[in-house]
Structure 1
Amino acid sequence: MRAVVFHGKEDLRVEETEEPAPGPGQVKLRNAYSGICGSDLHVYYAPAEAGLDMENPHPVTGATLPQILGHEFSGTVVELGEGVDSVAVGDRVAVWPIYFCGTCAACRKGAVNACRTIGFHGLTSHGGGMAEFTTVDASKVHVLPESVDLRLGALVEPMAVAWHAVERSGVQPGGSAVIAGAGPIGIGVWFALKGHGVENVLVSEPSPERRSIAAALGANVVDPTSEDLAARVAELTDGDGVDVAFDAAGVGPAVTSALSSLAPLGRLVIVALHERTTEIFPTQLVMTETEMAGALGYLQSDFDAVIAAMADGLYDTTGWIDEVGFDGVEATIHELRAGRGMKYLVSSEA
């Protein structure tokens, strides 16, 4: 079968690989779509800094390079391994791709998404979504309802990242929010806030292209480089500040501006990965009793919530989703790194 295989830093190849067969408790999927994620860019350009061990087997999965990419993906069940009765051949599914140790402090608290030796199918495993087929444990697949197609199903994973961030924020229906960054995760946070009953939202984004996409979806947008963000927040909240803020940009100014936007007792959730350290003024937190929290990945319950919201028609992919084939993945990674484009799904049939 054909697959997109990562061999090392800036070394990505489309190759013929062995077609997998499901073991006990596993299912075999014919992959449909797989998203290109910011994590894929981190792995491609700086694998060691992204936490990918280039020499030793992964402590949970035992996987080593080379690695088939694609950790946010959908597919159709084509074969069942021994003992599988939770899904059927022909089911269309999204895959919860996390591998966890089950014994570390995070896992013992039920936060397997923060496992200290976390792995992902399509990053540190025996396969991935950027291949014609893959095998995964049946416990990792979430069946899609008829109203959710496979294209939308490939977005369950990144939208679950955003949904989990909103869950971490503790925001209540009728609350207010600022989102710093209108990339795919920022857009996902905007959708997730709507799903939580939060409509009073301001999206801060310096890119004209991304502002335009967010605005076309119905978001209230602001350019932080040319407009007064504080004044827009004051206008939105009658001078109080927002209940929650989200850093979906991964740059220092996004953090500091988001903190300044908070009302007393507000919470900032960091959902973006940062490549550089950021200075903050802790007294700012003290004087307003505001909080900062991190949000990593998702739980299985976040997948269920996103799929239910998709079935209810919450998500709109108009204007921000493009498709490429296997042969276009590496060029698309370069485009995304250069700040061009929004969200790309890799089609196994393109």
Structure 2
Amino acid sequence: MTDTPTLPATMKALVLHSKEDLRLEERPVPAPGPGEILLAVGSVGVCGSDKHFFHEGRASSDVMTEPFVMGHEFGGRVAAVGPGVETGRIGERVAVEPLVPCGTCRSCRRGEYNVCPTQLFHGVPGAEGALQEYVVVPAGNAYPIPGEVSDDAAAMVETISVSLWASQRGEITIGDRVLVTGGGPIGLFALQVADARGAESVTVIEPQESRRLVAVRLGADTFSSLDELAAAGHPALRDGYDVLMECTGVQQVRHSGCGFVRPGGKAVFVGVGAQDASVPMPSVIEREVEIRGVMRYRFTWPTVIAGLAAGRYRADELVTRRLPLHEAHRAWTEPPAGADVKTIIRVGSSDT
């Protein structure tokens, strides 16, 4: 490790021991190995998968079998570097891509590292997350961020990346009509990404009024349900939407949403939901609606960071609650007062 006398010997870490059992513990500060950096964590975003781990002990196919630290949406400042990493990176502000592929399998060799079967992912079982004061990550996964990008926004590069990759899977382009089901952080960033890619219109379906108001402010038409959209006679319904961005994972929404896609259009499934689900075969077969899944992202970090710096993505506006690390448990145990879009845990953030 580079000689950094200011580093403490121990740190605070929020450890999930089992379902609904979060403990703030004292741990040794880890040392970065070859090709790694030690990150002083800034802000950490709370994701829906974190809530699944807390309440259910699993998120999709990731199952916890021993205590671990959550937090896969994060950034911070480089505190120390391991062998082979330039010492000039110490002090650099970065956003971290949590996905660590093997780099040698057939998927990785094809550039499809997001579907690497042996990938590690910081913040799920197998790789420690960022709800601790320091964490070691590969140096190549830490992307510099400019001064105009806040620590909170740096933490949301991961969230925006999901939406960006989903838009790329849907091949959204100029003039497209886009339907987004779900007005949480992924859906609201999907709206912004679609707009940045030149969509003619974006319609957001979201039952929570507070989230619909945010979507309206970001330029979308909004409805509380697909039934309400159908009853309203929206202009896009004449021919159907070019792309569905399904961000809820709710079976009925996913199934019904495909019926709003034009013949030959695309339905992009972002929300996970149940392990098994049905699809509307008349849409798939008779109208050739193409269904595409989304597994995290690939090669998105530079694009998202540039978009944040240019003001194309309004990340900070989506933060509705900020908590210090010692109160982070409230993100899972206490519903926020008022609007609920994005909760950020301020571990060591310099944001005001």
8 Å CA contact 1:336, 1:342 repeated in 2: no
Measure how far apart 1:298 and its partner are. Answer: 1.0
One-letter code aligned to 1:201: V
The aligned counterpart of 2:243 is: 244
Residues 41-83 of structure 1 deviation map (CA, whole Å, 9 limit, x = unaligned) = 122222246434444xxxxxxxxx3212211101011212111
CA distance 1:259–1:38, change in 2 (3 Å): same
Measure how far apart 1:106 and its partner are. Answer: 3.2
Gaps of 5+ in 2: 1-10
Residues 135-190 of structure 1 deviation map (CA, whole Å, 9 limit, x = unaligned) = 11101111002221212111100110111000100121121100000001001101
The aligned counterpart of 2:292 is: 293
CA distance in 2, matches of 1:100, 1:319: 30
Query: What secondary structure does 1:274 align onto?
Result: coil
Q: Does residue 23 in structure 1 map to residue 33 in structure 2?
A: yes
CA distance in 1, matches of 2:102, 2:317: 39
Gaps of 5+ in 1: 56-64
CA distance 1:146–1:48, change in 2 (3 Å): closer
Q: Mapping of 1:156-195 within 5 angstroms? A: 156-195=157-196
Q: Mapping of 1:59-78 within 5 angstroms? A: 65-78=66-79
8 Å CA contact 1:206, 1:225 repeated in 2: no
The aligned counterpart of 1:140 is: 141
CA distance in 2, matches of 1:274, 1:53: 15
8 Å CA contact 2:49, 2:59 repeated in 1: no
The aligned counterpart of 2:7 is: none
Count of aligned positions: 338
8 Å CA contact 1:241, 1:261 repeated in 2: yes
CA distance 1:224–1:159, change in 2 (3 Å): same
CA distance in 1, matches of 2:227, 2:175: 29
- Large movers: runs of 4+ above 4 Å: none
CA distance in 2, matches of 1:225, 1:190: 17
Query: What secondary structure does 1:17 align onto?
Result: strand
Residues 280-334 of structure 1 deviation map (CA, whole Å, 9 limit, x = unaligned) = 33122222111111011111x2111111111110122325432112233222123
The aligned counterpart of 1:254 is: 253
Measure how far apart 1:130 and its partner are. Answer: 1.1
Q: Mapping of 1:95-244 within 5 angstroms? A: 95-224=96-225, 227=228, 229-232=229-232, 235-237=234-236, 239-244=238-243
For the aligned residues, what is the CA RMSD? 2.4
One-letter code aligned to 1:161: V
Measure how far apart 1:217 and its partner are. Answer: 2.8
8 Å CA contact 1:195, 1:309 repeated in 2: no
TM-score (norm 1): 0.89
Query: What secondary structure does 2:165 align onto?
Result: helix
One-letter code aligned to 2:26: E
8 Å CA contact 1:182, 1:214 repeated in 2: yes
The aligned counterpart of 1:3 is: 13
CA distance in 2, matches of 1:199, 1:20: 49
